[in-house]
Amino acid sequence: MLNPFELQALEQAILQQHPERVQTLIAHMNPADLAGWIEQLSLEAQVRLIPTLEQAALIFEFLPKTVQAQIAEQLDPADLLQLMSAMHSDDRTDLFKGLSPTLQPWILAELAPEKRHQIQQLAAYPEESAGAIMSSDFVTLSPELTIQQAIEQLRQVAADRETLYLIYIVDALQHLLGVVSLRQIIQAAPEVQLKNLMTTDLVMGQVDEDQEQIAWKLAHYDFLALPIVDQAQRLVGIVTYDDAMDIVEAETTEDILKSGAIESLPNLSLKNAPILSLYRQRVFWLVFLVFGSLLSGFGIAHFEEIIAAHIVLVFFLPLLVGSGGNAGAQSATLMVRALATGDVHFRDWFYLLGRESLVALCLGGTMALAVSVLGYVRGDLMVAVVLALSMLGIVLMGCLVGMSLPFILNKLKLDPASASAPLVTSICDASGVVVYLFIASQLLF
C-alpha cells in the first residue's frame, strides 16, 4: 500500500512521464488496492496511467462507475476500445451505458461483433433486473462430452471467461440441462460423460427477476454464481457473487438514505454530486416534514390554557416528545430491517404488536420513573404524576407507531424503508404533544 507521500510521488512520476518510477511505486500491488489509489489521482494522471498498466481492464473494473466514465471520456479512442474489449461483459456494458451519446455509436461500430452483440443484449434489460447485471462470460459444454474432451475445451476458453468454477451443460438450443463444478471434472475419470456427472436439481434466476432476489438466492444457497435463464429456459447469463455484493451494497445504501428521509443519488458520489442534485435529494421530505410538524403547533394552541396555568409543563415538553420520537425511530429501524431480511412478515404483525407493547411498557416505565423525579423537583407531586403517565403513554405510542408503519407500507406495496426516522419522529412529536397536554388538562385542572 502507498502512503500519502508515495501517492504524491506517483502523481508526479505519471505527469512528468517517468515510467520506471511509476512501475517501482506500483509493483506487486493488488489490482483492487491499486484501483483505490488510482481513484485518488487527478483525472489527467488517471488518463495517462490506465493505458500503460499490464492488467488495465482488471484494475479499471475495480474503479467506481462514475470514475470509470470520467476516465473513459478522456482516453484516446484507441486506448478506450482496447480497454473495453478486455473487460468482462457486464462491466463493459455498465461502462458503455455511462458513456456520452456521441461516444456510444463509435464504440459499438469498432467493437468486435460478439462483444457488440453482448452490449446490445445486456443493455436492453431493465434496470434493477437480473439481466442488467448478469455476465455473458460463462462456460457451456455439451452433455455428450467426456471429461477428457471437456478439459480440452476448457483450456481453450479459460482466458476469456469470468469464472470456471461452474460449467453449465446445455443442449443445442442453449437450454440449461445441468451444472458441473470444476472440482467434479478434476476428480472424475477421463471417460465419464458430463451427462452422467452433472447436477440437474438446479437453482436459477429469471432474466426479469429483481436484482435483490438474485442476491438473496446467491447468499441463501452459498453459490459462487447463479445461472440466469429466459422464459424458454435458455441460459442467457450468470450473476456472480461479487455482483451480488454490489447489489447488496446498493440496496443497503438506498435503505439507509430512505431511513434518513433522503432520496438516493444514482450513479453519483456525495463528493462529486452537483449542489442542485444534493438539494433535490433532500428538499421534498424536509418540506413535507415541516408541514407535519405544524400538527405539534396545533396541539399546543389547543391547550393554551393549561400551559398558561402551569408554565412548568413547557420545560418538559421537548423531553417527552423527543423520547417518543426516539423510541418510535428505534422500533421502525428494527422492523424495517426485519422485513428486509425476511425475518418477519405481515402475518406476524399482531404477534409482534403484543411483544412490542410489553417492551414499550417496560421502556416507558423506566423512563417514567426517571422523569417523575425531575417533575417533582421542578414542580410538585401532581406534575410528577403527569410526567410519568405522559412518558409511559408517549413511549408506548411511539413504539407502536414505529413498529406498525413499516408493516402498513409493506402491505401497500411501498418500500418499508420509507418509514424513516424523521417521518416517525414527526408523527410521534405531534401525537406526543396531544397526549402530554391532554393528561395534564385532566389531572391539573
Q: Give dist(CA 277, CA 294) in Å, integer.
A: 27
* Matching residue, cell 409511559: 392
Q: Give dist(CA 122, CA 94) in Å, integer.
A: 9
Contact call for residues 347 and 379 (beta carbons, < 8 A): no
Q: What is the pTM of this model?
A: 0.65
As assigned by CATH, the class of the 275-444 domain is mainly alpha
* Residue 424: predicted pLDDT: 82
DSSP 274: -
- What's the average pLDDT block by block, 10 residues per block, for the chain (445 residues)? 76 89 87 90 92 91 90 92 90 90 91 90 87 88 93 82 83 93 91 92 92 88 90 91 81 69 59 72 74 77 84 87 88 83 84 92 93 88 91 93 86 70 81 90 82
Instruction: Look at the domain 4-123 and name its fold.
Output: MgtE N-terminal fold (1.25.60)
> Pick from 15, 13, 35: which is nearest to 25 by CA?
13
Q: Give dist(CA 132, CA 122) in Å, integer.
A: 6
* Residue 418: predicted pLDDT: 62
| One fold for 140-259 and 275-444 | no
Query: Residue 262: CA atoms inside 13 Å, Cβ hemisphere, count?
Result: 14
Which CATH code fits 140-259?
3.10.580.10
Angle at 416 between CA 338 and CA 344, to 5 degrees: 25
| Domain boundaries of the chain, sorted by first residue | 4-123, 140-259, 275-444
* Matching residue, cell 403517565: 389
SS3 at position 302: helix
* Residue 315: predicted pLDDT: 87
Q: Residue 160 has which C-alpha cell?
A: 476469456
Q: Residue 124 has which C-alpha cell?
A: 436492453
Instruction: For residue 11, give Cα distances in angstroms to 53, 57, 72.
Output: 15, 20, 19
* Residue 296: predicted pLDDT: 79
